[in-house]
Chain A
């Protein structure tokens, strides 16, 4: 632990992003500042194209801000960071590798000891309910299963920060609910800081400590909403709570008619 207590896991300080294409300059993010505490779960919602995904790329160092600074675990982000886990909307698995070997790619790329990585992979496989599918190739797995593999791969090296870019956007509603429940449990078990970009208001409220609502492009933080739900959240029970409905309704009103609740 090099980070002293109280230091934010992620500090985004008045960041702006401009893309310059041939004819026009596009401002993807106008001005965003956001601090995320260690172990916190923050959801980011907003209209399409408001720069939610761009924000995650800034945190991971895959993209450099045009102005402003990003700090991750206390250090300024200057290039691709290796101390994060990343999950995309598409599982992005290597189709020639089994589920287990896809998870272990993380270890091979990092040069982790294969014994430790193997043990850790088996733990994650069990934790995410992939037991019995270790040797299946990606095309033999359902969309939900593929996304579990991607999640295991992102967690293999025990990152302190997990970035998720609409990870369940391509799943059917029922699978998505199951994945939400599992992600909640995994987050509680691992204590990882999570930044989740999503289109689903229900998902954002159910999972998060705080929900960041962004404005339409060029993106900026419209409002940050504290979610006052208990630490442990059972799905249907949580959905039935008045705090849940009022928070979701508030977010929906901020997003206007464009917001969808699925």
Chain B
């Protein structure tokens, strides 16, 4: 019942949106080559499912690989920055600068460097997803009470035990908000990578459909891409519930993000 209570409002909005879409296309208000009807889109989704599915896997693979790399490297970089002033002073300005460079603009360069394979897609996904992970993890590691850290030093456990038992667990709520932002960005990164040069993946599907003015296929690609993002997000929410029951129960049902 709790689930129903949380779901009916967005579900209602979605149904209203679909109805509007149906009305707009059925009445010919917008030409079908600009916006296909929901029915046409569904036909493509079902009829060409094996084709879409095959490319969905490619994009999902690139996304997840990019996300995992970004998460691991991001967490390690954050730990290094929090524990070493020198590393922070050296790395942080460069990180900020790197974040300001539009990843979409350098994606073509990655194709030149790494070819048409998996490489450039994963690299763009990593670069886009990396920043929120670092920022949230740094915030999390710094969120620990100074009094708690002072207590730890009177307990004599040393820096490693303090990290394992106090700092790392305390940073997890922040890390998870960062990871949730990162995973949705990783989908964008992978698709951007595919736009620049690919012969498979949802970005490729959309680009092809666009070239052929096949708007139903284009819409189908967009929908599947969004679903991939949503599914990955939900998986992370479930992981968070499992890892941080104490935090989830405190914060209630509202979605919170620090970024």
| A residues lining the B interface (CB < 8 Å) | 60-62, 80-82, 84, 86, 88, 90, 92, 94-96, 105-106, 108-111, 137, 139
> Shortest Cβ distance from A147 into chain B, in angstroms?
13
Chain A contacts for B181, CB-based, 8 A: none
State A188–B246 Cα separation when bound (angstroms). Answer: 37
Contact call B247/A96, Cβ cutoff below 8 A = yes
State A60–B150 Cα separation when bound (angstroms). Answer: 10
| B residues lining the A interface (CB < 8 Å) | 145, 147-148, 150-157, 161-162, 165-166, 169-170, 244, 246-247, 250
Contact call B155/A109, Cβ cutoff below 8 A = yes
State A82–B169 Cα separation when bound (angstroms). Answer: 23
Chain A contacts for B165, CB-based, 8 A: 94, 105, 108-109
Q: A94-B170, A95-B246, A96-B246 are in contact. Are A110 and B155 (CB under 8 A)?
A: yes
Contact call A62/B156, Cβ cutoff below 8 A = no
State A94–B172 Cα separation when bound (angstroms). Answer: 13
Contact call B247/A82, Cβ cutoff below 8 A = no
State A111–B156 Cα separation when bound (angstroms). Answer: 9
> Shortest Cβ distance from B152 into chain A, in angstroms?
6
Contact call B147/A81, Cβ cutoff below 8 A = no
Contact call B153/A92, Cβ cutoff below 8 A = no
> Shortest Cβ distance from B163 into chain A, in angstroms?
12
> Shortest Cβ distance from A151 into chain B, in angstroms?
13
Contact call B246/A92, Cβ cutoff below 8 A = no
Which of B154, B156, B244, B247 neighbours the largest number of chain A CB atoms within 10 Å of its CB?
B154
Chain B contacts for A90, CB-based, 8 A: 145, 147
Chain A contacts for B154, CB-based, 8 A: 60-62, 80-82, 84, 86
- What are 29 A-B pairs at a CB distance below 8 A? A60-B154, A61-B154, A62-B150, A62-B153, A62-B154, A80-B153, A82-B156, A86-B151, A88-B147, A88-B151, A90-B145, A92-B145, A92-B147, A94-B165, A94-B169, A95-B246, A96-B244, A96-B246, A105-B155, A106-B155, A108-B157, A109-B152, A109-B156, A109-B157, A109-B161, A110-B155, A110-B156, A110-B157, A137-B246
